[in-house]
């Protein structure tokens, strides 16, 4: 009985670590189209997100990603270029 309880306790202790190991890892940088929209994209760099909208006239983009990290802005522009060749106006 005590041996069975010890085995169950060991298995219960390892369960959280096993479930975390099975979780899919997200890429550092990801761009995805927002379902149900026309040309609206979410850009994620780590835990920062931005949004861009591609229109006939160009691209409208928010850019909190580059605040304090200039390379974040460069990566964001590179991701926008993957979904459109239109340019944004400043």
Structural domain that includes position 48: 25-90
Residue pLDDT, tens place only, 61-75: 887 666 677 677 788
pTM equals 0.59
66 within domain boundaries:
yes
37 within domain boundaries:
yes
41 within domain boundaries:
yes
Kindly list the distances between the CA atom of residue 33 and the CA atoms of 16, 38, 74, 84, in Å, as whole numbers in the listed order: 33, 9, 19, 12
52 within domain boundaries:
yes
47 within domain boundaries:
yes
20 within domain boundaries:
no
- Per DSSP, helices labelled H in the chain are 2-22, 70-83
Residue pLDDT, tens place only, 2-44: 555 455 455 566 666 545 556 678 888 899 999 999 899 998 8
Count of domains observed in the chain: 1
């Amino acid at each position: 009985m005590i041996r069975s309880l010890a085995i169950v306790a060991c298995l219960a202790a390892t369960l959280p670590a096993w479930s975390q190991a099975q979780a899919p890892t997200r890429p550092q940088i990801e761009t995805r189209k927002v379902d149900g929209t026309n040309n609206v994209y979410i850009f994620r760099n780590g835990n920062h997100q931005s949004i861009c909208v591609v229109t006939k006239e160009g691209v409208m983009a928010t850019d909190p990603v580059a605040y304090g990290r200039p390379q974040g802005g460069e990566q964001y522009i590179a991701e926008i270029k993957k979904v459109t060749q239109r340019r944004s106006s400043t």
